[in-house]
Amino acid sequence: MSNSYETIDVSQQGKLGLIALNRPKVLNAINRTMVSELLAAMEGFESDSSVKAIVLSGNGRAFAAGADIDEMANDHAIDFELRNQFKDWDRLAMIKKPIIGAVQGFALGGGFELALCCDLLYAAENAEFGFPEVNLGVMPGAGGTQRLTKLVGKTKAMEWLFTGKRITAREALHHGIVNQLIAEELLLEETMKAAEQISSQAPIAIRLIKEAVLKAVDTPLNEGMEFERKNFYLLFSTEDQKEGMNAFIEKRRPQFKGK
Amino acid sequence: MFETVKYEVTNGVAWITLNRPDKLNAFTEQLNKEVQQSVKQASRDKEVRCLVITGEGRAFCSGQDLQGVNEEMDHGEILRRFYNPMVMEIHRCEKPIIAAVNGVAAGAGMSLALACDFRLLSDKANFFEAFIHVGLVPDAGNLYFLPKLIGHAKAMELAVLGEKINAEEAKELGLATKVIPMEQWQAEITAFAEKVASMPTAAIAVIKKNLKASWESTLEDSLERDAQGQRIAGLTLDHKEGVAAFMQKRKPVFQGK
């Protein structure tokens, strides 16, 4: 895939689609161009059957230090409404392939919200998360209050959103925001290993698992159970299910085809 | 650029000298801040591969300057605002830090020495947990570092009984890497610091990080950290140089990269 983007680096390595936020001079501050490019790259990978998982990282010292404040400082409420500012964000959340995030340095404000859109998060020991919006007299607008609360519960979400306090990598691990802490030097290398492991699984199983887990976040249990069951049944129409179970019985490694 | 600290870099070593000799280098807000800033500066300076913190005159550091201390003071706030950031800056530093304890290290002055990686003591030096004598408790990380360095029982004795510990006693407790006679002091601490600065300091950074983390880790986590640390060290030029020098039977020249 060619890299014709202004604010992100996009490439493919084996079964992995790689996206790196690439405005290192401004600590990858997220502007509207970046969000629409991110979405374009993600949707590109979504429709490319050779890509099984997406790795999202940030070039330079930070993952993303927040939204581009200059861009919105003079906006009015109706500007946002008419622009439908967050529609690209909504579509980002609908990507069906697994998204694995690698966070070093700051993931603040919009950067934190972007990290929260990932399915798995690996963080360098120097990573710092936070929602400093309150210090500017506003609040998160791209899912911060909703996703963080669903992830860690009301108690900590309220504290972090009220104070704008930085969340250290260790706290983030403790509260289940990130999956694992990794030495900064090895962050991308280890994240890629984890992503490769996932990309070697049966892709349709991964896809339906992602769908079911996201369903669990805001569905009553009985509905979620029904949903899970249908996805479970559905997987028995795949070749990979036959292959997986035969390989198990024959005590060999399965060769999944994504069919 | 600093008023209460002398800062200079020589042969890869950043020398941070507390410089209020007429007050036995007692801490003021300014001194706290300048120690913090100078450690930060040394951390960022690529030329620096080792730090030394020492005191001008006959004391290392006599702790909080009691002038300016009054009954209305909120001791907790002073720690939060001035001491804790200083100790955290030292703790975060990836480069080896040597406390060259030239004289008395009392109260928070002792805490400062405890936060460092090595303690070189002059034979005139002593440690003094002065806090209890004025009805206070050891602070600025003192009670965190002390039991890790000398064990819970001895830490309790020092903190509660508050007896002066001379250099030889400190050595026996494990609080001194070395005790150095005053006549050879400057030459020996310089030699020690410059030796450390010429070591594979990228590997030292990993050792420091993993040792610190070991206090709050399971064996499983530590083993994973070993694997990551060794991967990082295995990619350094110093590792290549060390192996090459060994094969060629010569002395390695490490660059800390």
Q: First vs last Cα of chain A: how many Å apart? A: 24
Per-window interface: B 153-212 vs A, CB < 8 A: 206, 209
Matching CATH number, A203-249, of 1.10.12.10, 1.10.238.10, 2.170.120.12, 3.30.590.20: 1.10.12.10
DSSP-assigned letter for residue A143: S
Does domain B5-197 correspond to CATH entry 3.90.226.10? yes
Task: Please check whether residue B228 touches A, CB under 8 A.
Answer: yes
**Dist. CA B236–CA B218, nearest whole Å:** 27
Q: ∠ CA A145-A147-A148 to the nearest 5 degrees?
A: 65
Task: Please check whether residue B11 touches A, CB under 8 A.
Answer: no
Matching CATH number, A8-199, of 3.40.309.10, 1.10.10.10, 3.40.50.300, 3.90.226.10: 3.90.226.10
Q: Has residue A25 got a pLDDT over 60?
A: yes
Interchain CB distance below 8 Å, B231 and A182: no
Q: Has residue A1 got a pLDDT over 60?
A: no
pLDDT of residue B171: 97
Interchain CB distance below 8 Å, A182 and B228: yes
Active-site residue, A133 included? yes
Element (H, E) at B149: helix B142-150
Beta strands in chain B (DSSP E): 5-10, 13-18, 50-55, 59-61, 97-101, 104-106, 118-122, 126-128, 165-166, 178-180
- Chain B CB contacts of A179 below 8 Å: none
**For chain A, what is the total number of helices (H) and then of strands (E)?**
12, 9
Q: Which residues of chain B have pLDDT under 50?
A: none
Mean pLDDT of the A233-256 span: 96
Residue A42: pLDDT band by 50, 70, 90 thresholds?
very high
- Chain A CB contacts of B231 below 8 Å: 186, 189
DSSP-assigned letter for residue B82: I
Give the Å distances, CA to CA, from B18 to B53, B182, B193, B255: 8, 18, 17, 29
Are the CB atoms for B50 and B98 separated by under 8 Å? yes
Instruction: Return the closest-CA partner of residue B109 out of B134, B138, B81.
Output: B138
Q: Has residue A140 got a pLDDT over 80?
A: yes
Residues of A with CB under 8 A from a CB of B: 125, 182-183, 185-186, 189-190
Report the residue of A61, A185, A187 to disrupt the B interface, i.e. the one with the largest count of B CBs within 10 Å: A185
pLDDT of residue A69: 86
Q: What is the pLDDT of residues A111-120, one digit of tens each?
A: 999 999 999 9
Q: What is the pLDDT of residues A215-236, one digit of tens each?
A: 999 899 999 999 999 999 999 9
Q: Where in chain A is the domain with CATH 3.90.226.10?
A: 8-199
Q: Where are the domains of chain B?
A: 5-197, 201-247
- Chain B CB contacts of A122 below 8 Å: none
Buried b (16+ CB within 10 A) or exposed e, B201-211: bbbbbbebbbe
Chain B's closest residue to A126, CA to CA, is B92
Active-site residue, A113 included? yes
Active-site residue, A110 included? yes
The amino acid present at B80, given as its one-letter code, is R
Task: Please check whether residue B231 touches A, CB under 8 A.
Answer: yes
Q: What string of DSSP letters covers A153-172?
A: -HHHHHHHHHH---EEHHHH
pLDDT of residue A3: 64
pLDDT of residue A156: 97
Catalytic residue among A133, A157, A205, A244: A133
B162 or A73, higher pLDDT:
B162
Residue A144: pLDDT band by 50, 70, 90 thresholds?
very high
Assigned token pair, B249: 């039977």
Looking at every residue in chain A, the average pLDDT score rounds to 95
CB pairs under 8 A between A and B: 15
Are the CB atoms for A45 and A54 separated by under 8 Å? yes
Q: Where in chain A is the domain with CATH 1.10.12.10?
A: 203-249
Catalytic residue among A110, A130, A144, A244: A110
Question: Hey, CA dihedral for B229, B235, B236, B238, is it positive or negative?
Answer: positive
Are the CB atoms for B139 and B111 separated by under 8 Å? yes
